């Protein structure tokens, strides 16, 4: 008599519990699949893209060129071109006590680009940034910059360059042309 279950209601209850568990497992699998599909459709966090051209902020120490007036007519240039006029001195001074860098650079009003001025010391293939301006728009000049904090110099005369980086003042697009002017950098 061991082959037959004496209580048929107990077997039905077991079958009902098994069916309930099976339905519950199937529902859980469906929910997991739906959640996975929904997460695939959700916008993914990607890397933050940097702009092609950062807008160059006007240098805080830039001053208008005394007596400078807007030219009657700026030179006409084709798309992607430009017209730059340079007025500068190739003598640069660094005051170690104040951290100030003295120079003379003007970007006349008839220039078509804003300019960033970098003062670099050259040692063989190595270049060391002494100071860098912000944007100097046409009609502005700069005579003083602040020395980079991490640079350690001793008193003396160094060979270097004044590097001019040209930017479209409206879009911030950097021009393909840079100018390097040989300069003597006197450190006191």
Q: How confident is the model at residue 51 (pLDDT cuts 50, 70, 90)?
A: low
Residues of the chain above pLDDT 90, percent: 41
Question: What mean pLDDT is reported for the chain?
Answer: 83
State pLDDT tens for residues 93-138: 999 999 999 999 999 988 888 999 999 999 999 999 999 999 999 9
Residue 71 near residue 138, CB atoms below 8 Å: no
Q: Give me the mean pLDDT over the 150-165 stretch.
A: 94
**What pLDDT, on the 0 to 100 scale, is given for residue 169?**
77
List, in sequence order, every beta strand (DSSP E) within the chain. Answer: 63-64, 87-88, 91-95, 100-107, 114-123, 126-132, 140-146, 156-167, 174-187
pLDDT value for 1: 47
More confident residue, 162 or 174: 162
Pairwise CA distance, residues 126 & 104, whole Å: 24
The pair of structure tokens assigned to 21 is 């568990």
pLDDT of residue 75: 56
pLDDT (average), residues 73-85: 62
- What is the pLDDT confidence band of residue 78, given thresholds at 50, 70 and 90? low
Count helices and strands in the chain by DSSP H and E runs: 1, 9
Q: What is the CATH number of domain 83-187?
A: 2.60.40.2550
pLDDT digits (tens, 9 = 90+) for 15-40: 778 888 889 899 999 998 888 877 66
The band of 61, judged by pLDDT with boundaries at 50, 70 and 90, is confident
Residue spans of the domains in the chain: they are 8-41, 83-187
Decide: helix, strand or coil at residue 183: strand
Cα atoms in the Cβ-side hemisphere of radius 13 Å centred on 102: 9
CB 109 within 8 A of CB 71: yes
């Amino acid at each position: 008599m061991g082959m037959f279950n004496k209580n048929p209601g107990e077997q039905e209850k077991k079958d009902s519990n098994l069916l309930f568990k099976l339905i519950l497992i199937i529902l859980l699998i469906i929910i997991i699949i739906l959640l996975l599909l929904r997460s695939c459709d959700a916008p993914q966090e990607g890397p933050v893209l940097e702009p092609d051209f950062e807008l160059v902020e006007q240098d805080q120490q830039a001053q208008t060129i005394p007596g400078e007036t807007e030219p009657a007519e700026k030179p006409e240039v084709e798309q992607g071109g430009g017209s730059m006029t340079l007025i500068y001195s190739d003598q640069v001074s660094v005051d170690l006590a104040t951290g100030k860098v003295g120079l003379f650079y003007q970007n006349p009003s008839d220039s078509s680009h804003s300019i960033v001025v970098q003062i670099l010391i050259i040692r063989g293939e190595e270049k060391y940034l002494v100071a860098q301006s912000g944007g100097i728009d046409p009609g502005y000049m700069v005579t003083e910059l602040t020395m980079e904090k991490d640079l350690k110099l001793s008193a003396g005369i160094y060979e270097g360059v004044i590097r001019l980086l040209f930017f479209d003042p409206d879009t911030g697009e950097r021009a393909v042309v840079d100018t390097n002017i040989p300069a003597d950098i006197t450190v006191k």
